[in-house]
Amino acid sequence: MGRVILCMLGAFSLTYGFVVKAVNSGTKFYMVWMGIGVLCLLWALLIQLKWWKKIPGWIRGVWIAAVILCVGVTACGTGLIFSEFNAEGPEGLDYVVVLGAQVREDGPSVILKYRLDTAADYLKRNPETVCIVTGGQGYNEPFPEAVGMKDYLVKQGIGEERILTEETSTSTVENVLNASVLMDPGYDSVGIITNNFHVYRGMALAEKQGLKGVCGIAAGSRPLYLPNNILREVFGIGKDVLTRKMNIQLGD
């Protein structure tokens, strides 16, 4: 039974990795799925050939413990992500900060359009709210993300005078840190607009940077790529906690 489950997990992970690679998401995280798939299939092969039981017991124990630990951490991280998955900010915020994502020659990537469309909807409902768009220019981008984001919002009918640009950041931490200098982080109410799977981390980073009246505003995402995005976020949360860039937020 265990061998069958491992084969199924391995086949799924490999197939999903190739699907993510095919969409050219701009990262190489698909290699993680491929790696998981290969490990599952190799484990199944060891069981099938009856070599697994020939491996010293302490090695098998360490391997199984490591797998349990990885599954446990992933489950906890996923729970944190879903705790803010449907976050909605209150009306009348002083600022909304739209976290950057990849832009292309023809405009924002699909994932960034979700964020910008959510921002446009909020700004139209709240004419006094100021928008800060964040993001510098990556090696594979034709211009700074913030520039493309502002152009998109202007085309959606948002006045240029309501949009501030932060054009130097290269990570979510820098998005938040650089945006905070354009406001009073200890006083102003701020909504962090990003995709649903990214809201928890964005808010935790913002609070670590001293933003007091901060809340999350969740934009949508494509369901097909949600497993990839959630697993990548789990890695991101783990990295930021270990490097003390954020604290685990368990809610009110």
d(CA 122, CA 208): 25
Helix residue ranges, H only, the chain: 2-22, 30-48, 57-83, 110-125, 145-155, 172-180, 199-208, 226-242
- pLDDT at position 16 is 95
- Rg of the chain over CA atoms, in angstroms? 21
Window from 15-29, 50-64, 187-201 with minimum mean pLDDT: 15-29
Lowest mean pLDDT across 176-180, 209-213, 218-222: 209-213
pLDDT exceeding 90 applies to what percent of the chain? 75
Of the listed ranges 149-158, 160-169, 206-215, the one predicted with least confidence: 206-215
Inter-residue long-range contacts of 38-45, CB under 8 Å, 24+ positions, other chains counted: 38/10, 38/14, 39/10, 40/6, 40/7, 40/9, 40/10, 40/13, 41/6, 41/7, 41/10, 41/11, 41/14, 43/6, 44/3, 44/6, 44/7, 44/10
Q: pLDDT higher for 184 or 93? A: 93
Nearest to 100 by CA among 88, 115, 110: 115
Residue 249 has pLDDT above 80, yes or no: no
Q: pLDDT tens across 175-205, in order?
A: 998 999 999 888 899 999 999 999 999 999 9
Whether residue 76 has pLDDT greater than 60: yes
What is the pLDDT of the chain when averaged over all its residues? 92
C-alpha dihedral, 133 to 81 to 108 to 222, nearest 10° = -150
